[in-house]
Structure 1
């Protein structure tokens, strides 16, 4: 796999590049296409290093990020996250795309127990504005909240981001 390592407010050293290459090599056993490029972005904010890794494959995109005190521990955690994503979703992806293309060569063979949906809820989606949705999210203590935007009348998701701010996903 090819690696594109970039830094935002940080100079990428040879040691960082070699460490990243060594860690990314762990994922080669799962990815068939050796022309795939892993995009790694390193950012320094204050005293922490944030590492974002994005790997575009044929049928989906692998992505993980982690913030740690140093680059080396952040890249280690990110690669572990990506490996878990691949193993967890391999069977699900094969079943989904088998009927469409019968081509699952983008992921090597891996046996994993089947994931099950263990809970299902039906909720009434109430119209509200963003401020009320934030309040509901905080009152419930959830990571996300589904509501109907009062202005657009469309389903919208508000979610809590790692840094404590909020994000919104709007449907079209």
Structure 2
């Protein structure tokens, strides 16, 4: 899983980077086929905003959350993304197909 964290009007400290990575472990526990993750953190006056773009095979998931505290925004973001990943995984498991069965050719 490729992880890219960037910030707008906020410096991404190693502590913040570790916090985001530890929260994303929860996503990886539910679904291990994540291709890459882009996290975008921003500050606009008093509102802290976190966005995430998660690519899995066949789909791209997006979630965003905002709060007065950046850590709380990240928590909300991961909760939203976790629900999306579980829903995607359930839909994907439901579409497994059996092998084609050969029907006898009528003569």
TM-score, length basis structure 2: 0.80
Q: What whole-Å deviation, never above 9, does each CA across 1:148-168 have from its counterpart, x for those lacking one?
A: xxxxxxxxxxxxxxxxxxxxx
Does residue 21 of structure 1 match 2:21? yes
In the aligned structure 2, how far is the partner of 1:4 from the partner of 1:53? 10
- How many residue pairs align between the two structures? 97
In the aligned structure 1, how far is the partner of 2:2 from the partner of 2:31? 12
Measure how far apart 1:66 and its partner are. 0.2
In the aligned structure 2, how far is the partner of 1:58 from the partner of 1:90? 11
Gaps of 5+ in 1: 100-172
Gaps of 5+ in 2: 98-107
In the aligned structure 2, how far is the partner of 1:49 from the partner of 1:19? 15
Q: Which residue of 2 aligns with 1:65?
A: 64
Deviating 4+ runs (over 4 angstroms): none
Paired residue secondary structure (1:89)? helix
TM-score, length basis structure 1: 0.52
Measure how far apart 1:12 and its partner are. 0.7
Q: Which has the higher strand share?
A: 2
Report the CA distance shift for 1:86/1:40 in structure 2 as closer, same or farther (over 3 A). same
Q: Which residue of 2 aligns with 1:88?
A: 87
